[in-house]
């Protein structure tokens, strides 16, 4: 591709998504001692995902805000309300009283490839004027966020610059489609930012719109992936399942007879070899349903029906 063609595609992608990118101001009240509360505004970004006035941003943007306002691409400034938020994925859905908004075109984050060009679009540093754009590549897929055990859905890692104020803005492919929601940057690193894949964001915001919160199924096991070194220790084939390291007392798995040392191999009809596969498979079943878990114990293939409970914590240490 000639450089001029690449430039044209970048410019066209920005023109396609820019009308859907909004600036968010979150006003928090803070003060010292018995003095008066002092308004403390912060700026971020949101993207219109529904013409009926729904926008997606980050949960940390809206958390604790006494007042939210949105400045749309056409210059209108409107108060916004929080429909719901999810701390696990740092995603929030907000709403403004407006119709026929220019909703962004959503892409296919499952089709992303490491090395492809992406754009981070947002109101970096809260500077006046339109959104800023940075160009980079998809650096990695299905990443956990450093400093945590895992993120519910694997994150898209990119070297497209994500600066303060970009939070909640779209990660865009060169076709102008949103493939992720920018969520975090590692302050001690250079060129390392993260975005929640849009396929995960869509499912979460759909649930937020219906119920205002995300309900996650839980069975009560702490697991470890069978990487080659661990597989050798337990006498199993690498990547042949998930090792049960711990079972939470009185949890559904405990009552169903799952024990530490068992190797989970399936959830219903779905094989599980990674944490992500386990979480995504469990999410296919409603809380309250009985789900057959396939597992191996000392080489014997077994199965147990496990009733799914709602996760007792926002970010459970066990699944």
Does 90 participate in catalysis according to the annotation?
yes
Instruction: Kindly name the residue from 60, 95, 123, 319 that is annotated as catalytic.
Output: 60
State the Cα–Cα distance between residues 15 and 104, nearest whole angstrom.
11
List phi, psi (to 5°) of 19. -65, -15
Does 60 participate in catalysis according to the annotation?
yes
| Nearest residue to 86 (alpha-carbon basis) of 48, 44, 106, 58 | 58
- DSSP assignment of 97-165 equals S--S--PPPB--GGG--TT-EEEEEE-GGG-SSS-EEEEEEEEEEEEPPTTSS--SSPEEEE-S---TT
Does 167 participate in catalysis according to the annotation?
yes
- Segments of 17-90 assigned E as strands: 21-30, 38-50, 54-57, 67-71, 77-86
Instruction: Kindly name the residue from 20, 86, 90, 123 that is annotated as catalytic.
Output: 90
Residue with tokens 């798995």: 253
Instruction: Kindly name the residue from 20, 134, 139, 167 that is annotated as catalytic.
Output: 167
Residues with catalytic annotation?
Answer: 60, 90, 167
């Amino acid at each position: 591709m000639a450089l001029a063609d690449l430039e044209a595609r970048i410019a066209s992608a920005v023109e396609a998504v820019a009308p859907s990118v909004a600036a968010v101001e979150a006003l928090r009240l803070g003060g010292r001692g018995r003095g008066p509360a002092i308004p403390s505004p912060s700026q971020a970004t949101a993207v219109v995902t529904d013409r009926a006035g729904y926008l997606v941003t980050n949960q940390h943007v809206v958390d604790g805000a006494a007042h939210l306002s949105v400045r749309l691409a056409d210059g209108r400034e409107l108060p916004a309300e929080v429909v719901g938020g999810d701390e696990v994925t740092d995603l929030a859905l907000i709403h403004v009283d407006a119709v026929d908004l220019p909703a962004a075109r959503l892409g296919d984050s499952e089709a992303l490839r490491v090395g492809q060009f992406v754009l981070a679009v947002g109101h970096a540093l809260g500077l006046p004027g339109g959104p800023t754009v940075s160009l980079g590549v998809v650096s990695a897929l299905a990443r956990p966020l450093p400093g945590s055990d895992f993120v519910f859905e694997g994150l898209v890692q990119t070297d497209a610059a994500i600066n303060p104020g970009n939070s909640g803005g779209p990660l865009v492919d060169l076709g102008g489609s949103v493939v992720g929601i920018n969520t975090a940057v590692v302050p001690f690193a250079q060129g390392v930012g993260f975005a929640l894949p849009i396929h995960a964001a869509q499912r979460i915001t759909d649930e937020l719109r219906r119920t205002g919160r995300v309900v996650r199924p839980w069975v009560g096991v702490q697991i470890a992936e069978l990487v080659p070194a661990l597989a050798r220790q337990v006498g199993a084939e690498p990547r042949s399942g998930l090792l049960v390291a711990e079972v939470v007392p009185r949890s559904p798995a405990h009552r169903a007879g799952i024990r530490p040392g068992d190797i989970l191999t399936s959830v219903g009809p779905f094989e599980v070899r990674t944490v992500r596969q386990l979480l995504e498979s469990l999410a296919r079943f409603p809380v309250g349903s009985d789900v057959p878990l396939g597992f191996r114990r000392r080489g014997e293939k077994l199965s147990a029906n496990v009733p799914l409970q709602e996760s007792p914590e926002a970010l459970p240490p066990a699944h």
